[in-house]
């Protein structure tokens, strides 16, 4: 029975990908096991509370990867507009690379379970909160007031999440390109306001 | 065995509500039967191809109800801003009334199944296309050019879908209020452009 952290990591990575592609309820534990190549015993060893525990940990793993991406996008950008466009493009790149199978790693499970499971609802809330905070931090760094940065972070995340949903469903990048335009438009309107 | 259209309608209404609240894979056929109060035989009579057929028909039913709401919002509004805000508020009212259980009736099933099921993917695509077209029609009626109306319809639907996702997950109307602000901002920026 493999009890190493490698087996735990493989299980979580496999679960995160499956939940992202086909949702939480559509992915059975035996699918996670098959995709991870880990023995059944290791799954029960690392996640004694079962699927819900794996789900919450997989959401946390995915959330942290996206948060890091947002922080890196801020580092690599010269202004707020480039920063937001970079975030959109990074998420769209995942979608395109996967043949429109991998959109937001949190949204599907959040919608399926937030009214049912306290553990999964909390994990999804934490994920979106982390991202909003990281976007807010970036916008503040590029000169927006704390108040504006807070509001624009929510608007931007909504725009990106909605565009990922439409792009995935339509199998088209048009909603992504229009989201970029919308975000530029929002920032310019804010700039003109002052 | 009840074979009347009433039994078919009850089954579809129950399925639409369940898929909206907990997703497609999280709702078993026996949940749909129990919620509809229809006999098992009527389900097989009306939907011989099974759950996927019920799913596609339930998405079409929900899609048409929202499309009608958008058309009515256009009728009741004086300008593009009031029109878009009315759409947001109608969807937010459903969410609030249901204790944050009922967001977009299409999004959850679309994310779960669009990469797996041709029938469900097509039904979800049709739903979003219908809504975008109805929003575009309203915007055109309120004076936007056909080109602008097309682009703004996609931006608006993305903003609304993303805000519904965040509002549902956070159990808070803040993302909805910020979506309203974002949509007003987009329309004003477009207005100032001309």
DSSP characters for B101-161? Answer: ----TTHHHHHHHTTT-HHHHHHHHHHHHHHHHHHHHHHHHTT--HHHHHHHHHHHHHHHH
| Secondary structure of residue B54 in the 3-state scheme | helix
Residue B31, chain A, CB below 8 Å: the answer is: no
Can you tell me the distance from the alpha carbon of B32 to that of B22, in angstroms, rounded to the nearest whole number?
A: 12
CB contact under 8 A, B113 and A26: yes
Residue B90, chain A, CB below 8 Å: the answer is: no
B164, closest residue in chain A (CA to CA): A158
Question: What's the pLDDT score for residue A69?
Answer: 97
Question: What's the pLDDT score for residue B38?
Answer: 86
Q: Under 8 Å CB-to-CB from B118, ≥6 apart: which residues?
A: none
Q: B174 to chain A: which residues are within 8 Å by CB?
A: 154
CB contact under 8 A, B178 and A100: no
E runs forming strands in chain A: none
Can you tell me the distance from the alpha carbon of B34 to that of B39, in angstroms, rounded to the nearest whole number?
A: 9
Q: B37 vs chain A: nearest CA distance in angstroms?
A: 23
- The secondary structure of residue A98, as a DSSP letter, is T
| Secondary structure of residue A31 in the 3-state scheme | helix
* Inter-CA distances, B159 with A64, A165, A186, B30, B85, Å: 24, 11, 12, 35, 12
Any domain includes B165 = yes
CB contact under 8 A, A185 and B188: no
Residue A124, chain B, CB below 8 Å: the answer is: yes
Any domain includes B47 = no
Can you tell me the distance from the alpha carbon of B143 to that of B147, in angstroms, rounded to the nearest whole number?
A: 11
Mutate to test the interface with B, among A17, A25, A144, A158 (most CBs of B within 10 A): A158
Placement of tokens 């993305």 in the chain:
B158
Any domain includes A52 = no
Placement of tokens 């940065």 in the chain:
A149
CA dihedral B55, A167, A36, A29 (to 10 degrees): -20
Give the rounded percent of residues in chain A with a pLDDT score beyond 90. Answer: 88
Question: What's the pLDDT score for residue A192?
Answer: 79
Is pLDDT above 70 for A4?
Answer: no
* Inter-CA distances, B124 with A167, A188, B16, Å: 12, 33, 13
Can you tell me the distance from the alpha carbon of A179 to that of B134, in angstroms, rounded to the nearest whole number?
A: 19
Residue A185, chain B, CB below 8 Å: the answer is: yes
Question: What is the full DSSP assignment across B55-73?
Answer: HHHHHHHHHHHHHHHHHHH
pLDDT in tens, A39-56: 888 888 999 999 999 999
Each residue's pLDDT, cut to its tens digit, for chain B (194 residues) gives: 444 568 899 999 999 999 999 999 999 999 999 999 888 888 889 999 999 999 999 999 999 999 999 999 999 999 999 999 999 999 999 999 999 999 999 999 999 998 899 999 999 999 999 999 999 999 999 999 999 999 999 999 999 999 999 999 999 999 999 999 999 999 998 877 76
Question: What's the pLDDT score for residue B194?
Answer: 66
CATH of the domain at B136: 1.10.357.10
Residue A5, chain B, CB below 8 Å: the answer is: no
Q: B46 vs chain A: nearest CA distance in angstroms?
A: 25
* Inter-CA distances, A180 with A91, A103, B108, B154, B175, Å: 12, 16, 24, 12, 19
Q: ipTM value of the model?
A: 0.95
Any domain includes A11 = no
Question: What's the pLDDT score for residue A5?
Answer: 61
Instruction: Band the pLDDT of A6: cuts 50, 70, 90.
Output: confident
Question: What's the pLDDT score for residue A191?
Answer: 77
Can you tell me the distance from the alpha carbon of B140 to that of A18, in angstroms, rounded to the nearest whole number?
A: 41
From the list B178, B176, B40, B59, the residue with the least C-alpha distance to B110 is: B59
Can you tell me the distance from the alpha carbon of A153 to that of A163, in angstroms, rounded to the nearest whole number?
A: 15
| Secondary structure of residue B164 in the 3-state scheme | helix
Any domain includes B161 = yes
For residue B118, give its domain range.
60-193
Q: A10 vs chain B: nearest CA distance in angstroms?
A: 22
Question: What's the pLDDT score for residue A115?
Answer: 87
Any domain includes A101 = yes
Q: What number of C-beta contacts closer than 8 Å exist between A and B?
A: 174
State chain A's mean pLDDT as an integer.
Answer: 94
CB contact under 8 A, A108 and B113: no
Question: What's the pLDDT score for residue A3?
Answer: 47
Any domain includes A189 = yes
Say how many domains are in chain B: 1
pLDDT in tens, A165-189: 999 999 999 999 999 999 999 999 8
Any domain includes A10 = no
């Amino acid at each position: 029975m493999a009890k190493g952290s490698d087996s735990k990591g493989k299980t979580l990575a496999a679960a995160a990908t499956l939940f992202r592609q086909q949702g939480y309820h559509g992915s059975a534990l035996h699918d996670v096991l098959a995709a991870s190549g880990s023995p059944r015993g290791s799954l029960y060893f690392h996640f004694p509370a079962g699927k819900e525990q794996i789900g919450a940990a997989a959401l946390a793993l995915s959330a942290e990867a996206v948060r890091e991406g947002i922080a890196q996008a801020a580092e690599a950008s010269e202004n707020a507009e480039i920063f937001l466009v970079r975030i959109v493009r990074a998420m769209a790149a995942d979608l395109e690379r996967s043949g429109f199978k991998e959109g937001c790693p949190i949204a599907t499970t959040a919608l399926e379970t937030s009214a049912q499971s306290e553990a999964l609802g909390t994990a999804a809330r934490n994920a979106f909160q982390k991202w909003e905070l990281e976007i807010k931090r970036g916008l503040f760094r590029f000169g927006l007031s704390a108040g504006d940065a807070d509001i624009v972070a929510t608007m931007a995340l909504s725009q990106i999440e909605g565009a990922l949903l439409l792009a995935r469903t339509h199998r088209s990048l048009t909603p992504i390109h229009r989201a970029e335009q919308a975000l530029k438009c929002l920032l310019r309107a804010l700039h003109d306001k002052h």
